[in-house]
Amino acid sequence: MNLQQYIKNHIAEVTPIPLEKIALTERLHLSGQLPENAELSEFPVLVVRPILNNRRKNGRYLAAENYALVCNWKDYMLQKSDPDCRNVYCIITDCYRRKFMQTIREINSTKSKRILTEQITVPVEFMKTPPNEQKIERAEEFYSVYGHFDMPVTVKEYGGKYLLADGYARLIAARRMKISYVLADIVEN
């Protein structure tokens, strides 16, 4: 899966963000130079991560005031050069670029769909070593602020049921928050 396919699959999670709130923090993005004939992608959606401000209300993080660009530098630069561009469409994740791109490469033959959380079986190996509480709380806070998780859970399909392959903290958070459906990437066995 490449970045444009990922964006097409997650287009429902797009959020408009003021362009001025997005910063370049990755060395790769800071050193790039835009070719003269560059054009916007078919889906000029940026992938960003929140720069959390540690401010809380009722025990929850407040929405981020600023974001760091994770992917789609070319579209960012082209939109930034347009004086009429105020807001850009973004998918929000909590991953840095390297982890995000690694995740996209690992999802080779996947299809995404919404799955009932109760249809997902957790392997015994996962239950033996559950994620730490902070990771689960971070997933809950992310969902509370943005209305979706930073990444889909990954499952393997077998006989109409699903076995969790990745995203245990997000699944626990969803079940605690009584969220009926989660977005899941379905991988081949």
Q: Is residue 113 predicted with pLDDT exceeding 80?
A: yes
Beta strands 46-51 and 66-71, pairing class? antiparallel
Among the listed residues 137, 136, 150, 149, the one whose alpha carbon sits nearest the alpha carbon of residue 48: 150
CA gap 188, 109 in Å, rounded: 7
pLDDT of residue 133: 93
Question: In sequence order, what are the beta bridge partners of 114?
Answer: 183
Angle at Cα 48 formed by Cα 16 and Cα 34, nearest 5°? 95
What are 136-156's pLDDT values in tens digits?
Answer: 998 998 888 777 888 889 999
List % helix, strand, coil for the chain (3-state, nearest 5).
35, 30, 35
Locus of tokens 């076995």? 163
48 in Cβ contact with 17 (< 8 Å): yes
Kindly list the distances between the CA atom of residue 13 and the CA atoms of 9, 24, 29, 93, in Å, as whole numbers in the listed order: 9, 22, 24, 10
Asked whether the whole model's pTM tops 0.85, one would answer no
Q: What is the mean pLDDT of residues 114-127?
A: 93
Q: What is the mean pLDDT of residues 116-135?
A: 93
Mean pLDDT of the chain: 83
pLDDT of residue 132: 92
> How many residues does this entry show for the chain?
189
Q: What is the mean pLDDT of residues 69-73?
A: 89
Tell me what percent of the residues of the chain surpass a pLDDT of 90.
Answer: 38
Highest-confidence segment of 16-25, 38-47, 88-97: 16-25
Q: Is residue 63 predicted with pLDDT exceeding 70?
A: no
